[in-house]
Amino acid sequence: MLAVKTIDEVRRVVHPAKQGGKRVGLVPTMGALHEGHLSLVHAAKSECDVVVVSIFVNPIQFGPNEDFEKYPRPIEKDLELCRQAGVDVVFYPEVQEMYPRELLTTVRVSKMTQTLCGKSRPTHFEGVTTVVTKLFNVVGPDFAYFGQKDAQQALVLRRMTADLDVPVTIRICPTIREESGLAKSSRNQYLNDDQRVQATSLSRALKEAVSLIKSGKKETSELIGAMETIIKTAGPCRIDYISVNDLETLEEVSRVQKPVVIALAVNIGPARLIDNIMVDAEGNEIIMFGRNVV
C-alpha cells in the first residue's frame, strides 16, 4: 500500500494504471474509519483493479459552529486499517494541498441540497460537492463509493455527476449497523453508554415507519408522528428533522406513492446523528448497490 500526501504523487501512481486499462475505485472519507468505510473498500475491491481511499477532513463543509477542530483524526490507525483491507493507495493531504489559495470556484447542486440536512447546514453540501469534484479530478476514478447512511450526500453527488457528465459511476452502498441497529458513524464515539442506547431509537423509528407503510398507512404526517414519539420517549434530544422525501428529487412528500427516503437527524448529547431508509410505495426496502448488512 502506498500512502501519499500530494496531488502529484497520486497522479503519478494512478494515472498510469488507468492508461493501462485498469479500473480505479475511489472511497472518499474524512477518516476515523470504521466498518462502514471498510464495507465501501470491499465493494470497490469487488469490481476495481486499483482502490484509492482519500482521508481528508474537509474544512469547507463544516459550518461555523460545527465540530471541524475536534473531528477525530486517528491517521495511523486509519492507515493500518486501509493496509489490512487491501487498499492500494491512501491519499491523505493537508488542507494547504487541497486549498493552496483562496477558493473562488465551487460546485453547487440546487434544490436537492435545500431539504433535509441542507436546511440547518446551508453551506455543507457545496463544500461536499466541491471537494468531491476536486478528488475526482485528482484521482480520475471509474467508480466512487458512498454509504447510504449519508443518503442525501450520495444522491446529490449522483445528480452532480449526471448533470455535469462526469465520467464516474456513483455506487451507493448499504448502511452498516451495530447489533443494536445503530448506524455506524465516526460521531458515535462522542456518545457515552447511555446515549448509545438512546441512539438506537433512530433505527427503531425507521422500522416503525416501514411497518406502518406496509400496513397501508401512507400519510407522511402519521409516519413522522410515530417516529417522533419513539425518539422523544427514548430520552432527551433535539430533533433537527424527520422527513419523507422523493427518492429522485429529495422533495418532501405528503403521501408515500412512489420510492422515498425516510430520513432523520437527531442531536443526542454532543453528537448529531443521521439515519435513513429507502423504500418503495409498498414499504419494501430499496438496495442501491450490494446487499444490506444489518
Query: Could you list the active site residues?
Result: 37
Measure Cα distances from 89 to 12, 15, 50, 78, 165 in Å. 11, 12, 8, 13, 26
Picking from 241, 267, 279, the residue whose alpha carbon sits closest to that of residue 114 is: 241
As a dihedral over the C-alpha atoms of residue 186, residue 197, residue 63, residue 263, rounded to 10 degrees, the angle is 100
Quote the CA–CA distance of 157 and 151 in Å, as a whole number. Answer: 10
Q: Which neighbouring-strand residues pair with 3?
A: 90
Strands 50-55 and 271-279: unpaired
Picking from 171, 173, 172, 167, the residue whose alpha carbon sits closest to that of residue 142 is: 167
Quote the CA–CA distance of 55 and 135 in Å, as a whole number. Answer: 11
